[in-house]
């Protein structure tokens, strides 16, 4: 608490603060028993996360049936600058998010090490998505995942090589990782040390993955990671979640005496303008990129 008896010497009114940043109440006497309270936060089952994982795995299994099916689906849905910006095949921005490295090498033989691509993405989607969706709800989670992933795909076609083909859910995964970071930051006072530890781990995850991605651009690397998709997905997740994330205000539970209810003060229907603005920016970037590429 501020010990200054005149915290606003210039007569300026205090700035509006986040609901979770209200000044703490005076501490209880040292020997007083600590009262335990239960915090009720609105949550849902992470069904959308499970559906997304199921779709990615199903497509991967279908491609693994034969090299012909693998090539056919890859050629149909992979993200590519010329095919998107020149040929106008914009569906690739979305379809590429559900494709991953195939199981076949150039001779048509199984190469199971390629499965690490989908395994790593689906593990992170499950670990982060199942938690974030519970807190944000189905609609908000899908907005961050899909539109954040599209942001990564757009940045990939704008700044990636003309001859490169990109697949994978990594951009969308980076979007929800960034989304969790923003949610934790919004509620940093409520979550305390546990929230700080989690935020640091998310930053470490992002730094490590970007470092690995940059290493794959060095000569002689067998695999090239689409760093632009990762970066675009992260930016999209940060921007979207900053505006549409639930922001909880704590109040006494109306039905259960002595317990606390976390009430959302930032409903999604009041933030749809931010989602529309984000989508408009993506369309403008694609339009400008198309004009420049066709010159």
Residue 262 · residue 279 · CB < 8 Å: no
Instruction: Confirm whether 15 is domain-assigned.
Output: no
Query: 268 vs 8, which has greater pLDDT?
Result: 268
Residue 248, strand partner residues: 264
- Number of domains present in the structure of the chain: 1
For 3, how many CA atoms within 13 A lie in the half-sphere containing its CB? 0
Residue 158 has pLDDT above 60, yes or no: yes
CATH of the domain at 138: 1.20.1540.10
Mean pLDDT of 166-192: 94
pLDDT single digits (tens) 124-133: 999 999 999 9
Name the band, by pLDDT with cuts 50, 70 and 90, for residue 159. very high
CA distance 233 to 84: 18
Range of the domain at 258: 39-293
Q: For the chain, what is the mean pLDDT?
A: 86
> What angle do the packed helices 188-215 and 227-244 form, to 10 degrees?
170
Name the band, by pLDDT with cuts 50, 70 and 90, for residue 13. very low
pLDDT single digits (tens) 196-225: 999 999 999 899 988 888 887 777 666 778
Instruction: Confirm whether 98 is domain-assigned.
Output: yes
Instruction: Confirm whether 208 is domain-assigned.
Output: yes
Instruction: Confirm whether 128 is domain-assigned.
Output: yes
CA distance 175 to 237: 4
Instruction: Confirm whether 96 is domain-assigned.
Output: yes
CA distance 208 to 280: 31
| Strand 165-166 with 79-80, pairing | antiparallel
Whole-model pTM? 0.85
Instruction: Confirm whether 48 is domain-assigned.
Output: yes
Instruction: Confirm whether 284 is domain-assigned.
Output: yes
Residue 129 · residue 238 · CB < 8 Å: no
CA distance 89 to 109: 30
Q: Give the pLDDT score at 54.
A: 98
Work out the angle at residue 144's Cα, subtended by the Cα atoms of residues 269 and 200, and round it to the nearest 5 degrees: 120
Return the structure tokens found at 125: 């989607």
Name the band, by pLDDT with cuts 50, 70 and 90, for residue 105. confident
pLDDT single digits (tens) 39-72: 777 789 999 999 999 999 999 999 999 999 999 9
Residue 263, strand partner residues: 249
Closest CA to 241 of 174, 182, 295: 182
Instruction: Confirm whether 85 is domain-assigned.
Output: yes
């Amino acid at each position: 608490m501020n010990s200054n008896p005149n915290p606003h010497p210039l007569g300026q009114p205090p700035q509006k603060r986040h609901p979770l940043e209200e000044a703490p109440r005076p501490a209880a006497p040292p020997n007083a028993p600590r009262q335990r309270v239960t915090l009720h936060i609105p949550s849902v089952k992470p069904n959308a996360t499970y559906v997304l994982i199921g779709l990615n795995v199903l497509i991967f299994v279908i491609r693994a049936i034969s090299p012909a099916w693998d090539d056919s689906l890859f050629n149909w849905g992979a993200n590519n600058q010329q095919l998107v910006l020149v040929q106008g095949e914009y569906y690739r921005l979305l379809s590429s998010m559900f494709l991953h490295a195939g199981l076949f090498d150039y001779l048509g033989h199984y190469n199971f090490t390629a499965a690490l691509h989908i395994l790593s993405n689906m593990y992170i989607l499950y670990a982060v998505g199942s938690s974030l969706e519970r807190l944000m709800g189905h609609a908000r989670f899908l907005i961050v995942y899909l539109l954040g992933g599209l942001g990564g795909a757009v940045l990939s076609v704008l700044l990636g090589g003309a001859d490169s083909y990109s697949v994978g859910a990594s951009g969308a995964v980076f979007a929800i990782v960034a989304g969790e970071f923003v949610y934790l930051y919004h509620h940093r006072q409520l979550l305390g040390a546990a929230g700080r530890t989690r935020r640091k781990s998310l930053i470490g995850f992002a730094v490590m993955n970007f470092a690995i991605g940059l290493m794959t651009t060095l000569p002689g690397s067998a695999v090239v990671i689409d760093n632009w998709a990762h970066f675009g997905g992260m930016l999209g997740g940060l921007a979207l979640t900053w505006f549409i994330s639930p922001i909880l205000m704590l109040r006494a539970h109306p039905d259960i005496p002595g317990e606390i209810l976390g009430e959302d003060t930032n409903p999604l229907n009041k933030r749809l303008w931010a989602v529309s603005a984000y989508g408009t920016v993506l369309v403008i970037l694609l339009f400008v990129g198309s004009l420049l590429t066709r010159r």
